């Protein structure tokens, strides 16, 4: 048989094989789209690749939605399948804020009356943000009071023209006039049986609003696969962004210290997986730092770290250290114990020094909860307070009592993190679980 005839026979056969391979791959992709997307993302990840981040309006979203009914009863609204706060954000972006004015408030009683007004929704931030950030999150363009602070948005149901921005400090209120305000599309979302109502009560006292859980609270336990950033890749990203610097590493007192020149240093504690980064490159340059600028700039720094941001939200501002604080959240509840402070801290000083403190570890994907008990029932926050006082803790040193999740290593697998619901108590400036306080540990 001639070479020419062999080629004529092999060509159709080769084409047929290629067609079959193509069809098989197409079927595989159609039947496994999520796996295909996940593998594509992993294959393009490198220290120099574009970092996957959440937008600033997601990071600075409110974390709680409270509804006050016609009888004055309040409830924290949660839907495990859909973020109700995000639903409100999407709807509020369709409204148009035309003007803002400061309301003259004569007493804390008047402030409380609006905060707990019947038939209203309240969107709570964990701490103060600025009206400029309100513009960013809700796509508005208010020109006045842009640097003024607030921490709550009150949306009266029966007022079609206004919402109110409330600042607990000295009970300040800003009235925002609206066009196109409507809650009709949200009503269907909020009426579904998937919306869980947790009875609460907001109490305003001494320039602070406290959220009390008025009855027993049943919350689900969760477990997640854990992911870990590579310290070497992180060092290249933070210390050698342009690829032209030499990064040195030294072991000092059980910690790994990465440096480049004399301006940047990253210290990793391998035992607990924490990172402390310092940037002296602009040290000595005086800069003005308002809360407005720090919220914006700290988000830029946060996004540059390469920390997975799927669950990260703004948690607060620490006046003492001049730090913006972020935490991971699950269903609107903060996670503690991920680091010593349980948070990500971005510090910017007036003399040009920047410091970051965060963890190499983060949550990846949820896994089925292990153990027999998958739900935890917690007492009311008033009961917790009484137990602490009975145990000898001074009420004057007890700050907020916050419902959240405790991050702990799964006993069966080092790759799994368990999230257990519990109360955290801000006692004498430190967050502790109420059970550890009662146990004396």
Residue closest to 337 by CA, chosen among 345, 324, 327 = 327
> Is the pLDDT score of 251 beyond 60?
yes
CA distance 68 to 60: 24
Average pLDDT of 232-247? Answer: 83
**Segment 56-91, tens digit of pLDDT:** 999 999 999 999 999 999 999 999 888 999 999 999
Quote the CA–CA distance of 160 and 183 in Å, as a whole number.
9
Give the class (CATH, top level) of 225-364.
alpha beta
CB 397 within 8 A of CB 427: yes
The arithmetic mean of pLDDT across residues 285-289, rounded, is: 81
Which pLDDT score, from 0 to 100, does residue 80 have? 85
Q: Mean pLDDT throughout 226-237?
A: 91
> In angstroms, how far is CA 86 from the centroid of its own chain?
13
pLDDT of residue 5: 47
Q: How confident is the model at residue 8 (pLDDT cuts 50, 70, 90)?
A: low
Residue the block writes with tokens 């990465």: 258
Q: Which of 19-23, 144-148, 214-218, 352-356 has the lowest mean pLDDT?
A: 19-23
What lies within 8 Å, CB to CB, of 439 at 6+ separation is none
Q: Of 154, 171, 231, whose CA–CA distance to 207 is shortest?
A: 171
pLDDT digits (tens, 9 = 90+) for 142-174: 999 999 999 999 999 999 999 999 999 889 999
Alpha-carbon gap, residue 196 to 75, rounded angstroms: 9
Domain locations in the chain?
A: 56-214, 225-364, 367-439
Choice between 377 and 320, residue whose per-residue pLDDT is larger: 377
CA atoms of 137 and 123, how far apart (whole Å): 13
What is the pLDDT of the chain when averaged over all its residues? 86
pLDDT above 70 coverage of the chain, percent: 85
pLDDT at residue 306 in the model: 85
Which three-class secondary structure state does DSSP give residue 232?
A: helix
Q: What is the pLDDT of residues 331-373, one digit of tens each?
A: 899 999 867 657 899 999 888 899 999 999 999 889 876 555 5
Dump pLDDT digits (tens) for 91-131. 999 999 999 999 998 899 999 999 999 999 999 999 999 99
pLDDT (0 to 100) of residue 52: 53
């Amino acid at each position: 048989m001639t070479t020419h005839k062999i080629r004529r026979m092999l060509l159709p056969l080769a084409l047929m094989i290629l067609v079959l391979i193509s069809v098989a791959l197409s079927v595989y992709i159609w039947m496994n789209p999520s796996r295909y997307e996940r593998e594509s993302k992993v294959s393009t990840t490198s220290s120099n690749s574009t970092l996957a981040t959440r937008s600033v309006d997601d990071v600075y979203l409110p974390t709680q939605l409270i509804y006050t009914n016609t009888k004055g009863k309040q409830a924290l609204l949660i839907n495990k399948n859909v973020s109700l706060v995000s639903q409100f954000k999407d709807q509020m972006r369709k409204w148009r804020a035309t003007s803002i004015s400061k309301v003259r408030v004569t007493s804390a009683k008047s402030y409380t009356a609006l905060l707990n007004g019947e038939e209203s929704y309240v969107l709570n931030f964990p701490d103060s943000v600025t009206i400029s950030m309100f513009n960013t999150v809700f796509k508005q363009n208010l020109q006045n009071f842009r640097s003024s602070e607030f921490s709550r948005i009150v949306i009266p149901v029966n007022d079609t023209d206004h919402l109110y921005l409330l600042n607990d400090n000295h009970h300040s209120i800003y009235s925002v006039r609206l066009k196109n305000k409507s809650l009709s599309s949200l009503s269907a979302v909020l009426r579904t049986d998937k919306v869980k109502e947790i009875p609460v009560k907001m109490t305003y006292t001494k320039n602070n609003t406290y959220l009390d859980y008025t009855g027993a609270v049943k919350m689900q336990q969760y477990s997640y696969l854990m992911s870990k950033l590579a310290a070497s890749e992180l060092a290249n990203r933070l210390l050698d962004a342009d690829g032209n610097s030499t990064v040195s590493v030294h072991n000092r007192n059980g910690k790994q210290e990465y440096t480049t020149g004399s301006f940047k240093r990253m210290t990793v504690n391998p035992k607990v997986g924490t990172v402390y980064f310092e940037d002296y490159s602009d040290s000595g340059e005086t800069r003005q730092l308002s809360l407005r600028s720090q919220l914006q700039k700290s988000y830029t720094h946060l996004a540059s770290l390469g920390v997975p941001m799927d669950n990260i939200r703004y948690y607060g501002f620490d006046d003492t250290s001049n730090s913006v604080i972020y935490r991971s959240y699950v269903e609107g509840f903060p996670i503690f114990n991920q680091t010593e402070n349980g948070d990500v801290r971005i510090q910017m000083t007036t003399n040009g020094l920047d410091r970051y403190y965060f963890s190499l570890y983060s949550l990846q994907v949820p896994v089925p909860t292990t153990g027999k008990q998958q739900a935890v029932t917690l007492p009311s926050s008033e009961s917790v307070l009484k137990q602490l006082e009975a145990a000898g803790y001074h009420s004057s040193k007890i700050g907020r009592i916050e419902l959240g999740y405790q991050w702990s290593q799964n006993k069966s697998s080092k790759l799994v993190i368990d999230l257990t619901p519990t109360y955290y108590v801000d006692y004498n400036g430190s967050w502790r679980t109420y059970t550890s306080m009662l146990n004396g540990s």
